[in-house]
Amino acid sequence: MNVSYRNVARLSRRAAGQTAQALVLSACIGGFATAAEGWLTRYEDAMAVADRTGRPVLTVFTGSDWCPHCTNLEEKVLQSAEFRQWAQERVVLLMIDLPQNGITQAVRRERSLVCKRYGVSTFPTVLLLSPDGQKLTTQTGYTGLGPAEWIGQFAAHIPAVCDTLGEAVVRARGAKRPILLVISRPGDSAARTRTASLIKDPEFEALANSHFVVAQVNPSAAGGTETEQSMEHLLGGVELAPEGVEVIVTDDGQTPLFSQSGAQSPSRVVSGLRRFLAARQAARGDEPTRR
């Protein structure tokens, strides 16, 4: 369910003579929106953090002192330990609160511009935004879902980069996609910078999210565990050079299907991956004929 902000505009005028009472109400049911740890309240601040971290922005549009469905969403989901744990390492949290009372006209104009930018007119509305401000998915209203179900509606739209080969193999098996490994040596700051630049590149990100399960991993020492042996095999037994970044595609985490230097420009890496995908599709298209 949702509530139109326009429908309560006239209530703001009526409430002018009841400021003290309204502020008490706001403190009781809207304190979360204004004081909760971890939530940003300015769009520009949230986008700056998203640009720095590469995380999407989970943006909640709410009316903390007049929208009961907003209050229910906050109490049942956004204040839950399950939500906080999920959000901590995955998203930037932004709350755009338009209460009837308790904010200045300048702040109201600033927040209203964000609503206008994304066409938000009903509350609550929740947007998942990419680091460049594009909509990834939208949810309007709140129907009483618990934290797990509510989170699931957004988790599926968050580009995830695995940090272990084993995790990537499991995800790839479920998603039925090849694994795209971006490999650099631990403690190599130059390689880490190159890796971050590649993974955050919009063209690379769009291609990777559409066709691969992505993992950012370190090469392991030769021998030992099965994962270490797999990494050695994927790299062809060659030690990764200082400042080096290697991009490898594999279906099973053991057999390399394609590799190229990740030290190239992101556009060249993307071009190579597109050629791999085209060749893979052509080969699969030929299989029925060969049979």
Mark whether 30 and 70 lie in a shared domain: yes
Mark whether 175 and 120 lie in a shared domain: no
List the domain range (segments joined by +) for residue 99: 3-155
What are the phi and psi torsion angles at 3 (to 5°)? Answer: -130, 140
3-state SS, residue 136: strand
271: left (phi > 0), else alpha (psi -120 to 50), else beta?
alpha
160: how many CB neighbours lie within 10 A of its CB? 15
- From 91, 78, 82, select the one nearest 158 (Cα to Cα): 91
- Edge-to-edge order in the sheet of strand 125-129: 39-40, 92-97, 57-62, 125-129, 135-140
Our count of domains for the chain comes to 2
d(CA 254, CA 18): 69
d(CA 145, CA 159): 23
- From 181, 150, 138, 193, select the one nearest 273 (Cα to Cα): 181
pLDDT per position in the chain (291 positions), as tens?
Answer: 565 655 544 444 444 334 333 333 333 333 333 335 789 999 999 998 887 766 789 999 999 999 999 999 999 999 999 999 888 867 899 999 999 999 999 999 999 999 999 999 999 999 999 877 989 999 999 999 999 999 988 887 876 677 778 878 877 876 688 999 999 888 888 888 899 889 889 899 889 877 888 998 888 644 445 666 788 889 988 888 889 999 999 999 999 999 999 989 999 999 999 999 999 999 887 544 343
Last residue of a domain, one of 130, 155, 180: 155
16 secondary structure, DSSP code: G
Can you tell me which residue has the tokens 């949290």?
A: 93
> Chain-centre distance of CA 231, in angstroms?
27
Last residue of a domain, one of 93, 125, 155: 155
CA atoms within 13 A on the CB side of 187: 1
Mark whether 23 and 148 lie in a shared domain: yes
Q: What is the CATH number of the domain that holds 90?
A: 3.40.30.10
d(CA 231, CA 223): 10
Tokens of 37: 């740890």
Last residue of a domain, one of 134, 155, 176: 155
Whole-model pTM over 0.85: no
Tokens of 286: 């030929």
